[in-house]
Structure 1
């Protein structure tokens, strides 16, 4: 082998080794799929009694001591606090979360003042039958108006629903409840959804769905609104029995409150 031939052969060998080394060093794309959200439901092995075992992030559902919903007393205590509520038309989308039909607000339409904090409406959804009970008795349905302050602290207004006259204010939401495969724009008159009296029960609780996060302020209005049997049936047809059973009150105290609508 001539010196020239040896040099060329050596150079090609070095180049090949270098290319192989680069190929080996290059990171391979991850073949691990993204984790799917834990599946929970309202019955069977993934129902409320098992939520704490479904996923580690749901541990509070089983271990928490300030859980919601609860059984409320037959009569409201004398008011010790009050809410100030400014409610107008709220615009947003209606869609199905897989567990409830939900109205997601654009962040306007309701401002609620509780203590020194100001909250704004984030979303509204329905449970059939009600999650909170009064003296052991559930209502036909319950609406939850989920509000948040600037720091993300949550306050939920619970509205109990009795069967009776149809609610014109809820008609746009209910109309979309059975065909929400795509997000639908809806205008909701929040003030018209509320009952005439804002007298309420107040207590510290949690989300009523996983992960059951605590330190949620609850304001459950003691005067129910009415919906027709057909309207309630429509909500039930979308999601039947999507209500968590009541949880122990423990050492918490339910106080009475009033409210003013402005």
Structure 2
């Protein structure tokens, strides 16, 4: 016996509504949510020993053969190159990256010529204690002045910090670190931040944070600068022990260098 026409029509209508209702979530699900940044830290399960396992993009942290930081020799090798530095006042924001307090210069304040290539200062940040060690001993802190050339290749100028007299040059940076929420511009005399002696260690390394990218030129000043215990304490209060352990030198050479400073005003 055949079904009545009105029953057939009703059944088709219900089926169509059901199909539309099922299809809607599938359409919304076709737009993937934005990926959350991978969490990494300096302690525990997300610390340096596990960085390479946290994300495929961090693989160099585990298998790289030219990683930073490293342990530096007590005696600086004889200088084999001369870096040209040109520094002036720089105005920038100071903010917390989640891993360090950073002064974002965006190419202002200093240029550095290394092996005929000019690099400009992008940002300055601090690690407490130092990441580089000298004869196995860390310094109280370390500043990293991150530079880039026109092609994006990086050069990092490292400055070791010992506890002693207060640093007037770094006072604006330190003061801003105590009230980061204010989002105010800070002016620093970059030339005054540098140590009196510009003798340095030079080697090819990597970023000291994920993704641990290699082919980064390192220049680490052999003469430290001084900061007061209070200043170091402020940075440590923001991020305590944000230092990656030293990495094997492998077949790399650490050479000596010097620098000449020209101040622009």
| TM-score normalised per structure 1 | 0.89
Residue 162, structure 1, aligned to residue 156, structure 2: no
| Contact residue 96 and residue 181 of structure 1 kept, 8 A | no
Q: What does residue 70 of structure 1 align with?
A: 70
1:1-262 correspondence runs (5 A)? 28-30=27-29, 32-262=32-262
Show CA shifts across 1:108-142 (max 9, x none). Answer: 11010001110000000000000000000000000
Deviation at 1:62, TM superposition (A): 0.2
| Contact residue 90 and residue 106 of structure 1 kept, 8 A | no
Show CA shifts across 1:164-187 (max 9, x none). Answer: 110000000000112213533111
Ranges in structure 1 where 5+ consecutive residues have no aligned partner: 1-16
Ranges in structure 2 where 5+ consecutive residues have no aligned partner: 1-15
Distance 2:65 2:32 in 1: 37
Distance 1:106 1:129 in 2: 25
| Contact residue 201 and residue 221 of structure 1 kept, 8 A | yes
| Contact residue 178 and residue 237 of structure 1 kept, 8 A | no
Deviation at 1:82, TM superposition (A): 1.4
| TM-score normalised per structure 2 | 0.88
Q: What does residue 4 of structure 2 align with?
A: none
Distance 2:147 2:82 in 1: 16
Distance 2:214 2:142 in 1: 20
Question: Could you say what secondary structure the match of 1:28 adopts?
Answer: helix
Q: Which runs of 4+ in 1 moved over 6 A?
A: none
Higher deviation after alignment, 103-112 or 143-152: 103-112
Distance 2:212 2:155 in 1: 14
Distance 1:102 1:213 in 2: 19
Distance 2:244 2:179 in 1: 24
Question: Could you say what secondary structure the match of 1:181 adopts?
Answer: helix
RMSD: 2.3
Show CA shifts across 1:86-114 (max 9, x none). Answer: 00001111000000000001321101000
Distance 1:29 1:93 in 2: 39
